[in-house]
Amino acid sequence: MAKRNPYKRIRQSDIAEALGVSVVTVSNALSGKKGVREELRQRILSMADELGYGDDTNTDLRRREPSASQLARQAYRFGVVFASDYSSEARSSFTDILKQWPPAHSIALDEMVLIDIDGISFEDAAQRVIERAQTEKLDGLMTIGVFSSAWMQRVDQALRLPWMSIDGILTVKELDSFRTDGFRAGYVLTEALIKRGHDRIGMLLDPPQHGIAMDLYLGFISAHMDAELTPSENHVHFMKPLGGYYRVEEALDLISELPEAELMGPDARTGWVLADSSIANFLSSELKRVKSHYVPEVTMLASANPSFEYVSTDAFHHVMTYVIDRGMILKNAVALLRRRIRNQSKAGQVRYFTGTSFTTFKEDDRD
């Protein structure tokens, strides 16, 4: 048999071309599916034979290197480090998705090893991660949320694994990072209310140290600047959760300070930008509890992961959500981490993800 170029593997399309038939026909014939005339099937099989289809004896060089589709199927094991935290919905929804990894239609079946370091000391947490990484032979690490650079360095020095940070805030040269673009989200959420005619807009956020709260706030300011409105900074509240429950006294203070609280009733044209659905539920339940007549309009960030979302909206007369598809962020983050493991991407890529769509969750029937 003639020597063949080892880098030109015979494909089904080559057979198709040789016979002037479609690739689908060739594929069906080779896999024994019905629908191909016996005579044609025989011709396809002979051509396949002649061309050397599936014959790897002349492709020694190729054998040493996995093909692109083999690489795509290679499964890795990743450690996912997080601190289970009631006040961060974002972090919880990421971990929920990772607990059910891989998603449907994935080619590679990567395994996620979840490592919870909630409530344990710096050194114990570092030890826990290092031990698990070593015993379970992890190929890479993902951290969800904010971790100090000292802690990350401690772990990195012991493990030297490819590392992907999700919603972290530090920029370290070799670290790849995917972050939610809170600034853009804050802008879009505020702009939506401004477009609907509100000029006094309040905001309820997670505590400022939590990743995107500060960015949401500055996005809120940015939207006001573009619309030439003065932001009412008195109505921006960073929540202070305690053990996962919001303190009652603060809630009452909060409602008494609501913008235009004197304009009770469904005609109050004031809006609120809410960081997430748990904050929305909090506001909703507080308004109901004090039997308020105040029925605001709200915009909020939502996740595309429906298992997480339960939002009680009866206290609001119009709700719009800006959806951040966290499943997609993770898919892209994992793909980048996989390329890092194969040394196919440049170190230290940082990408910001924004929402993908704005949906009206609850329509104002008076509009």
Contact (Cβ atoms closer than 8 angstroms) between residue 322 and residue 185: yes
For another protein, the closer of residues 89 and 181 by Cβ is 181
DSSP 167: S
Residues 6+ positions from 221 with CB-CB distance below 8 Å: 231
Question: What is the distance in angstroms between the CA of the first residue and the CA of the last residue of the chain?
Answer: 77
**Least CB distance to another protein at residue 42 (A):** 15
Question: What are 256's two structure tokens?
Answer: 């008494």
Give the one residue of 98, 125, 214, 300 binding another protein; rule: CB under 8 A. Answer: 214
Distance between CA 154 and CA 148 in Å, rounded? 10
**Does the footprint of another protein cover residue 17 (CB under 8 A)?**
yes
Report, in angstroms and rounded to the nearest whole number, the Rg of the chain calculated over CA atoms: 27
**Least CB distance to another protein at residue 364 (A):** 22
Give the one residue of 13, 42, 134, 344 binding another protein; rule: CB under 8 A. Answer: 13
**Does the footprint of another protein cover residue 288 (CB under 8 A)?**
no
Instruction: Give the CA distances from residue 15 to residues 28, 31, 258, in Å, rounded to whole numbers and listed in that order.
Output: 12, 14, 72
Give the one residue of 24, 50, 289, 310 binding another protein; rule: CB under 8 A. Answer: 50
**Does the footprint of another protein cover residue 194 (CB under 8 A)?**
no
**Least CB distance to another protein at residue 102 (A):** 17
Residues 6+ positions from 181 with CB-CB distance below 8 Å: 215, 352, 353, 354
**Does the footprint of another protein cover residue 147 (CB under 8 A)?**
no
Binding flags for another protein, 59-98, as an x/- string (CB under 8 A): ----------------------------------------
Tally helices (H) and strands (E) across the chain.
13, 14
Residues that bind another protein (CB under 8 A): 2-5, 8, 13-14, 16-20, 47, 50-51, 171, 173, 177, 179, 181, 183-184, 208, 214-215, 218, 221-222, 225, 328, 332, 348-354, 356
